Copies of this chain bind each other. A is one copy, B any other.
Amino acid sequence: MRAADVGDTVMGRLVAEYGAPRAVEAIRTRALPPEFVAREAEQERPQDLTSRLNAWYARLAAADPVADVEAGLRSGARLIIPGDPEWPTQLDQLGRSRPLGLWAHGNADLRFSCLQSVAVVGARAATAYGAHLAAEFGVGLSESGWTVVSGGAFGVDGAAHRGALAAGAPTVVVLACGVDVCYPTAHEPLFTAIREKGVVVSECPPGVHPTRARFLIRNRLIAALSRGTVVVEAALRSGALNTATHALALNRHLGAVPGPVTSAMSAGCHKLLRERKAVCITTPEDMIDLVGVIGDDLAPQLRAPVVARDKLNEPTKRVLDAVPSRGGAGPASIAVAAGVALDKTLSALGGLAAAGYIERTPDGWRLRRQPSAYRKASESVALDPPPTPEPDPTDAPPPP
């Protein structure tokens, strides 16, 4: 892990063929198997291969693996290697760019957390729109049992992680530096919170600082760990599009959230949609529909509540206003908050549930998550005239 930089596929092949101990020994003694060197010399210009191998020799000579392991353990992290129970086997699909090992720091089990996970990625310079949606996706995916994987950066990444934390769920940060290095520094409190319930991982040894190249290489891990990637906001030049490319190359699902076409921060998402590389995603449910098991996680058809809010009677409206949108509340506390008698509250709750406004959860009643939670304007839809009958467009429009 010290001898080559992350994602070095030549090192990947050496370790895959000869095993890590023999590889280390061969590099230390500068005695790589001649047939290996001969084969690699066909893949890359001899001078490039020579400088690559010389870099390995020099780096390994300068490395202090015992110190690395001690530093990692001292920071509270653990080292996971292929074959370990916590190794996420989906990373094996990376082939020769599979990481040699992963440092993990946090209370969650990495493999278990990523079994049902979605990568939520996007611009660091997210707009308020993008940050809002990233948080909503973090909450929504987590509440449905999906782990949010992201890069811990400013903007979309951070908002998605925070949404997951707000839902009380584990979330996975994949760093482009050592797990004991905090980048960005201002995210120290966020990473501390994530280590409580989730896990921070990196293929970089302790103490390694992020570089532009490491960010790009890191992105393949975000794509590979999760069942699908959703790009929340991305300019035409964005690291998130790099993650999207990895997701497609790994046959992972790819979604993109549209935004105003007047916003440069959505232009990358629109490009993915236009080129039909990504599916149009407007809610967390859309994404779960994409990555979930067919028939099991279908997104509900978008439908407005069947009774317009304006048609509700006054106590029922007050009860509806008292039902929380997150978590849940019991009838008694809703009755108090609404200022409506308990028996009337109970009957109003039943009616509101039947009309699709609220739902019962283990924590009590709450507003139905979909579509109201993501479409502020859903009430205006409910007040529209009844659905327009769509005439058979081919040959037989309905007579008046």
Which B residues lie within 8 Å of A265 (CB)?
377
- Say if the beta carbon of A282 comes within 8 Å of chain B: yes
A313 to chain B, nearest CB (A): 25
Q: Are A397 and B9 in contact (CB under 8 A)?
A: yes
Q: Distance in Å from the Cβ of A332 to the closest Cβ of chain B?
A: 34
Please measure, in the bound complex, the distance between the C-alpha atom of A238 and the C-alpha atom of B254, giving whole angstroms. 29
A281 to chain B: closest residue by CB: B274
Are A259 and B260 CB-contacts (below 8 A) given A235-B381, A397-B97? yes
Of B52, B271, B273, B393, the contact of A249 (CB 8 Å cutoff): B393
Instruction: List chain B residues, Cβ under 8 A from A9.
Output: 395-397
Residues of B near A258 (CB, < 8 A) are 258-261, 266, 270, 273, 280
Q: How many copies does the complex hold?
A: 2
Closest to A304 in B: B236
A400 / chain B contacts, CB cutoff of 8 Å = 5, 211, 213-214
State the interface size on chain A (CB cutoff 8 A): 77
| Docked-complex contact A96 and B216, CB < 8 angstroms | no
For window 279-318 of A, CB contacts with B under 8 Å fall at 279-283, 286, 302, 304
Write the residues of chain A forming the contact surface with B, with a CB cutoff of 8 angstroms.
5, 7-9, 52, 95-97, 129, 132-133, 211-214, 216-217, 220, 223, 235-239, 241-242, 245-246, 248-250, 257-267, 270-271, 273-274, 276, 279-283, 286, 302, 304, 374-378, 380-381, 384-385, 387-391, 393-400
